[in-house]
Amino acid sequence: MLFMLHGCLILLFISGSLAGLNLLSAVANLTSRPLEGITKNNKDFIQIAIENGYNAEKHEVITDDGYILTVYRIPPGSKCTKKTPMLLVHGLLLSAECFVDSGPNAPGFVLAQECYDVWFGNVRGNYHSRRHVTLDPDRDLEFWKFSVDEMGLFDIPAMIDYVLDATNAEKLNYIGHSQGGGSFFMMNSEKPEYADKISLFIGLAPATRQYYTKSVIDRLVANTINSLQATLEASGVWEVASRGLPIQGALEALGRVPLLADTLGNVGLSTVDSPHPGSITSETFRRMFEHVPAGTSIQNLAKYGQAMNELKFLKFNYGSEENLKVYGVSEPPEYDLGKTTMPVVIFHGKSDHIVDTRDMDWVVSQLPNVLEYVTMADPLWNHFDMAFSQYWKKQLYTTMEKYLKKYDNITLIEHR
């Protein structure tokens, strides 16, 4: 979830410990303006797709509140039979590239190999979707006044509608990793009519409440930013972990050496999640260093700090006075997981230190139509394996495939 943010913090703490570097100064370093050109040699989604033998397209989606989102597509080959389109949405501080970074057996390519029309979303605030029809992200705090709540209310519905319109389909299958799953639940709670547009939801460790999160670093970072949100924003710090920060450039350079990439990647993941040696390759780590972190708002990280201190799945807590203005009540309302009525399959790893088993069990108990709750057979399977593991196809897709085939009931809308 916060892989590169944590990695950066760790390096900052180590390098600055003698000078008394503290958490607030570390956050300031992570939220400074990106350096121009530092990522100019990095390959983007389309270049990676072409490198792996696939055509790819770039699309622009505008939300009802004016955010301009970039959505990528790998269309089915000319010899493919039409299937239900797929929409994949990434986790916190990630981007669409997370589904293709691990090479030929990456989730996006596995689905493309199976002739699915695969779409890849980028939520507001990451480097692909850092635009608005009127607001300037470099000048307007209002651009950054969002959390995962707004992603669920605006971004996910906008992307779903766009994909259905572009493919002339009545329904799509949705795959959400971590934040991409949590925002989907939020959408269903706020806009239950969207359940009719989804054939199947597949959650890869979807993040809702995170009361039992084991990661000490996750808790430290999210809780600290939650407590400092007003101070940071008043100081002009609105964005966090932007792509192109100096620390990312250093990691990219080190990551070009395979042994160093493997070491840096495994140390970073072991610090924030649980270790799973060999699951993510050094080449995948190198790609991750090019695309992670993808950026988000201070308010979004504050929301995760709140989620780690609640046993319910709640909306953003603005404080009693502001909650009254926004919600009409002094406490933030609870999202209704019971409104996620379409067929659901959930995957979870025993060694996931971001979305703990107890939190995942609770979510599943609230959902009305769970076809299967899959605990990964590999006891070391962690949170990041859900997107980046070299074993994704063998260990996860083999189970997923039977449900995708069962719910591949493509219906086209005539003369839309």
Catalytic residues: 178, 352, 383
What does DSSP assign to residue 386? H
Strands 198-204 and 67-74, sheet pairing: unpaired
Q: How many residues does the chain have?
A: 416
At 186, the amino acid letter reads: M
- State the amino acid at position 212 in one-letter form: Y
Three-state SS at 345? strand
3-state DSSP of 212-233? CCCCHHHHHHHHHHHHHHHHHH
DSSP 77-141: PTTPPP---EEEE--TT--GGGGTTTGGGSHHHHHHHTT--EEEE--TTSTTS-EESS--TTT-G
How far apart are alpha carbons 351 and 199 in whole angstroms?
30
Closest CA to 289 of 318, 322, 256, 267: 256
Helices (H) and strands (E) in the chain, counts: 17, 11
Amino acid at 364: V
